[in-house]
Every structure is written in C-alpha cells, then in structure tokens.
Amino acid sequence: MGEERRYSRSHEWVIREGDSARVGVSEFAVEQLGDVVYLELPAVGKQLNRGDVIGDIESVKAVSQLYAPISGEVIAVNEELEAHPELVNEDPLGKGWIVVLQPVDLGDIDTLMFKADYDRFAAEEQA
C-alpha cells in the first residue's frame, strides 16, 4: 500500500515517494482556478522553506502562487507542464504534478491534512 496523499491549507498536495516527496495542486484548487494556461516553475536545486512561493500558476481567471507545503530542495520539476499546462486540469493528482522535493524532514508530511480533513477545510473556505 502506498503512502497517503496529504494536503496543505494553501491547496497543494504531497505524497511521499521513498525519501522524496511529489507535490501538486489539489483538485479543489484546479476547479477554482479554471483552465490553466501557464506555470512558472522553480529551478532544480532551489531550497524552499515551508510556505515559500514555489512559482506561479496562471489560469484564464487569475494568476495565483504555488506554495511549498514542506521544506526541502527541488530535485525535479514537471517539464511537461511548460508545453502542456492543461495537464494540471486534466490530471491534477497524476500527470499534472508540479515538483519533487528532497524534504529536510520527511516528518513534515505528517503535519499536513488527510483528504477528509482537507475536503472539510476546502468546503468551509468556499462557503
């Protein structure tokens, strides 16, 4: 059984993959954004602290910032998104991932919300 996806209050998800962590944008955030047309992604090697801006995500509705849900070093970015930003809309929990981080502390993932808690949080935020 794989690790369970966790969610931040800024609508990013994290899933542990061995000793790294894949990060993307929640389905709720994608629904709120609308059609994604451009993403500004960080450079591989960039050090991020929890809450730091990862980059920008631009949709037909607005430009929003992406935030680091945990601290770590960017070890991969989803280069497919440069040519195909629509992958974020089509498959936000899969092919639309944003970055892979080498966490400073893998335990940081455990401080994030489980899906049920995140769904309640997102529903309250929307209300």
Give residue-wise pLDDT tens across range 34-82.
999 999 999 999 999 999 999 999 999 889 999 999 999 999 999 999 9
DSSP 15-34: EEETTEEEEEE-HHHHHHH-
Residue ranges per structural domain of the chain = 6-107+114-126
pLDDT, residue 1, reads 35
Q: Using a cut of 0.85, tell me whether the model's pTM lies above it.
A: yes
Choose which CATH entry (2.40.50.100, 3.40.50.150, 3.50.50.60, 1.10.3720.10) describes domain 6-107+114-126.
Answer: 2.40.50.100
Query: What is the rounded distance in angstroms from the CA atom of residue 92 to the CA atom of residue 5?
Result: 12
